[in-house]
Amino acid sequence: MKILFWGTPAYALASLDALVAAGHQLLGVVSQPDRRRGRGGALVPSAVKTRALELGLPVFTPQRIRRDAAMQAQLGALGADIYVVVAFGQILPPEVLAQPPLGCWNGHGSLLPRWRGAAPIQWALLAGDRSTGVGIMAMEEGLDTGPVLLERRLEIGLLENAEQLAQRLAQLTGELLVEALPGIEAAGVGTQQQRLSSLNLLPQSQAGVSYARLLTRDDLRIDWQQSALTIHRQVMGLYPGAWTSWGQRRLQLLATEPLVQRLADQLSPEGAAAAARWSLSESQQQTRIEPPASAGIAAAGQVLEVIAGVGLVVATGGCPLLIRTAKLEGRSATTGSTLIQQCGAVAGNQLGQQGPAVSAT
């Protein structure tokens, strides 16, 4: 099949590569324009544009495809049989959706209708979903509202971050697209209704619709009054962006474990051991010399325990949180004893407040 591929971030690379490896004829790639990145503000091409150029494919970068009639006509003149869209980043107008005779098809990183929109992977983690998946959807004018041809479900690990989950979903998206294309081609051109009917697509349910809104900088700052599980989901879902303050500097949290006893079988051995220590009843805690405080007594954000070679146990609005990997402002990401030494961490340090990260007592 002759394909025009639409995609922008690294998530779409597995799909582009899968289509090429399957022997399809790629007529070109449509991607978002180069964006200014870094302190120098240099223009940087998207991951998909970079790969397309490596493959020797023509690249088109419309600023706003909806408003660019000349670009619409140029793309239509390529004569593609089908448009395949994976995380392109713009909504295609009706004029574009009507161009390819076999339609426009989208590989979406959620089980629709849950998490329509721009950040489905992040929101699945933020919401604590136990599973997610990929759907291959016939595109229409609404935002991710089209009927679904194929879908696959994946379980989400408690300690899995957005980058790790995206890698698995990206690979699955490419596999499902390759699986879906022969059936789409066999359905023939006809009218859209005829094609969709012959493919037995499943209309999306009107129940369970949710939208994955764009995330902002305000979403990144950690509120230690929240529960350990909520903060952990923030760290995993917004990886690598969630942060708190350590004195006058930012501490970016990269790997955490919620020390919740009922989740012990999903924690690391070190996390499970810490959860057992910090899940004692109040009367049991009072009979112990170590650890020096309990989650119910310490202020939210206070370091309860420094575990050599492992990380920091921090009080939250519920059970404690274990910080395994973090990046102190101006330093590289680090873990275990190096993190403890880099921060000069001791029990009693207070996170989330401006000023010296010293004992709250």
Residue-wise pLDDT tens digits, 193-241: 888 888 989 999 999 999 999 999 999 999 999 999 999 999 999 999 9
d(CA 154, CA 156): 6
d(CA 35, CA 31): 11
How much is the pLDDT for 353? 80
Sign of CA dihedral 64, 69, 71, 73: positive
Amino acid at 296: G
Residue 332: is its pLDDT beyond 90?
yes
| pLDDT single digits (tens) 129-161 | 999 999 999 999 989 999 999 999 999 999 999
pTM of the model: 0.91
Give the chain's domains with CATH numbers: 2-212 (3.40.50.170), 217-343 (3.40.50.12230)
Average pLDDT over residues 306-322: 96
What's the Cα-to-Cα distance from 194 to each of 82, 105, 135, 190, rounded to whole Å? 16, 16, 21, 6
Q: Beta strand pairing status for 211-212 and 321-328?
A: unpaired
| pLDDT single digits (tens) 250-291 | 999 999 999 999 999 999 999 999 999 997 544 444 444 344
Residue 60: CB atoms within 10 A of its CB come to: 18
Residue 111: is its pLDDT beyond 80?
yes
296: confidence class by pLDDT, cuts 50, 70, 90: low
Tokens of 164: 């790790």
| pLDDT single digits (tens) 247-260 | 999 999 999 999 99
> Percent of the chain having pLDDT more than 70?
93
In contact, 136 and 180? CB cutoff 8 Å: yes
d(CA 220, CA 253): 10
What letters, b where the CB count within 10 A reaches 16 and e where it falls short, cover 174-206? bbbbbebbeebeebeeeeeeebbeebebeebee
